[in-house]
Amino acid sequence: MNSNVVTLSINGKEVSGRDDETILELALENGIQIPRLCYLEGLSIVGACRLCMVEVLGAKGLIAACATRITEGMVVQTDSERLAEYRRSILEMLFAEGFHVCSVCVANGHCELQTQAAHAGIDHIDLPYLYPRRKVDASHRLFGLDANRCILCTRCVRVCSEIEGARTWSVSGRGIEAHIISDFATPWGESTTCTSCGKCVQVCPTGALFMKGASTAELEKRTDFLSWITAMREQR
């Protein structure tokens, strides 16, 4: 498909990109970081976490940078006190809704939620914690799922479906009851579709999906395989 070059402004800087690019993609190309959790290069875009919201001149509300294509003359602001406040609220809600005890988490120090919170200057949560009692699925011989640490970014669902082609993971339930399930709520270890590739574990931004045997703060994840696979597929 042909694309056109458009020029716009991000944080007062004039930048150009293809009109099939999103605000987030163009911002990253220009070295402008926008907080994000559900977005991962190489996977489809779902706009689930709402952390990447930006201000666009003339728009009624905030706009998801990961899900909005650039247009000619757009005026985008990725950083403001209003956005900082909004992002802090999102992060606080994620912490309050789940059960995130960083000090005993395998992903401590390598967790994207923790990193985003640190960047946002969050050192405590004002919202009441819900302390959910979600399941831990340790039935798989290599991996585990602690749903208490899941932020429902659905990266695992997408990588399993779009990259591995196994379609093991999906989301069940709605609202506060929403949770990740394998093979229509079969224990992960009994899944007939899971190939044990571990891609879901690698793309999970928190310690929700983990490798067995990893101790506190030991779990470092790698997502670079995504760009490699994407490049190989494009070459073909």
Which residues inside 62-101 make contact with ligand FES, applying CB under 6 A? 64, 66
Identity of the residue, 26 or 194, whose beta carbon is nearer to ligand FES in the bound complex? 26
Give buried/exposed letters for 139-152 (b at 16+ CB in 10 A, else e): ebeebbbbbbbbbb
Say how far apart CA 77 and CA 83 lie, in whole Å. 9
Identity of the residue, 79 or 218, whose beta carbon is nearer to ligand FES in the bound complex? 79
Helices 112-119 and 81-97 pack at an angle, to 10 degrees, of 140
Position 50 contacts ligand FES (CB under 6 A): yes
Listing DSSP states for 189-221 in one string gives GG-SS-----HHHHH-SSSSEEETT--TT----
User: What is the token pair recorded at 176?
Assistant: 């506060």
State the nearest-atom distance from the C-beta of 19 to ligand FES, in Å: 19
Position 37 contacts ligand FES (CB under 6 A): yes
Which residues inside 174-233 make contact with ligand FES, applying CB under 6 A? none
User: What is the token pair recorded at 61?
Assistant: 């509300």
Using the rule CB under 6 A, give the single segment among 46-54, 79-87, 106-114, 200-208 that binds ligand FES: 46-54
User: What is the token pair recorded at 16?
Assistant: 């150009």
Say how far apart CA 95 and CA 93 lie, in whole Å. 5
Using the rule CB under 6 A, give the single segment among 48-56, 82-90, 91-99, 170-178 that binds ligand FES: 48-56
Identity of the residue, 15 or 153, whose beta carbon is nearer to ligand FES in the bound complex? 153
Using the rule CB under 6 A, give the single segment among 47-55, 83-91, 110-118, 219-227 that binds ligand FES: 47-55
Identity of the residue, 38 or 102, whose beta carbon is nearer to ligand FES in the bound complex? 38
Q: Tell me the C-alpha to C-alpha distance, in Å, between residue 136 and each of 49, 73, 139, 191.
A: 23, 49, 9, 16
User: What is the token pair recorded at 193?
Assistant: 């579709």
Position 36 contacts ligand FES (CB under 6 A): yes
Position 51 contacts ligand FES (CB under 6 A): yes
**Backbone φ and ψ of 212, nearest 5°:** -65, 145
State the nearest-atom distance from the C-beta of 35 to ligand FES, in Å: 8
Position 47 contacts ligand FES (CB under 6 A): yes
Identity of the residue, 47 or 198, whose beta carbon is nearer to ligand FES in the bound complex? 47
Position 49 contacts ligand FES (CB under 6 A): yes
- State the amino acid at position 150 in one-letter form: C
Residues forming the site for ligand FES (CB under 6 A)? 36-39, 47-52, 64, 66
